[in-house]
Amino acid sequence: MDQAKFQQILNWPPPRNLEALQSFLGFAIFYCRFIKNYSKKISSLTSFLKKNSHFPLNEEAVRQFHHFKEAFTIAPIISHFDPSLPTIVETDASDYALGAVLSQISYSGKHPIAFDSRKLLPAKLNYEFHDKELLGIVWALKRWRAFLLSLSSSFEVLTDHS
């Protein structure tokens, strides 16, 4: 993305109505695979998509909006997948979202291949934390199944919960 587009994103004002919020989120969804923990970073914003939500955005949503815009300017460089390299699937679960990173280790270090995240469905919000972590692992393995099946060796799964 060129510098002019970065500046345009940074100058984007907080949405003042549902249409403006939908416009911003529609733009953002295209870049979600480049932003780690995308769903977690926009959770306060997506809550305003529900019926009976009132604008303007609350303080938490405005703060999240600005942090999310900054994430565009520091998004890591994604590498191409190479089935011959050691591969790592890292997952993380929070109270309301799942996140995962598919990475590979090359001669120059660890590089992200893909990011993904999603909000938890209401029925899964009450899961115990270890169950949310396991759900995140299963979801990530399904998400990147094609990559993982093409590997010439095994892969590693990491989670932050003991």
Query: Given phi > 0 = left and psi -120 to 50 = alpha, else beta, which region is 37?
Result: left
Alpha-carbon distance of 44 to 80, in angstroms, equals 32
DSSP-assigned letter for residue 50: S
Q: How many CB atoms lie within 10 A of CB 75?
A: 15
Q: Which is it for strands 156-159 and 109-119: parallel, antiparallel or unpaired?
A: unpaired
Going through the chain in order, the beta strands assigned E by DSSP cover: 87-93, 97-106, 109-119, 156-159
Three-class DSSP category at 109: strand
User: How would you write the pLDDT of the chain (162 residues) with one tens digit per residue?
Assistant: 556 666 777 888 898 888 888 888 877 776 676 677 777 788 888 888 887 888 888 888 888 888 888 877 776 667 889 999 999 999 988 888 888 999 999 888 888 888 888 888 999 999 998 999 999 999 999 999 999 999 989 999 998 765
Confidence at residue 67, expressed as pLDDT on a 0 to 100 scale: 85
- Between the alpha carbon of residue 106 and those of residues 51, 80, 83, 88, 159, the distances in Å are 47, 11, 11, 12, 21
Residue 17 has which token pair? 């109505």
Contact 116, 140 (CB under 8 A): yes
Q: How far apart (Å, rounded) are the C-alpha atoms in residues 129 and 152?
A: 33
Domain residue ranges in the chain: 3-73, 87-159
Quick one: pLDDT at residue 134? Answer: 94
**Four-way CATH pick for 87-159: 3.90.650.10, 3.30.70.60, 3.10.20.370, 3.80.10.10:** 3.10.20.370
Give the pLDDT score at 5.
66
For residue 75, the model assigns a pLDDT of: 60
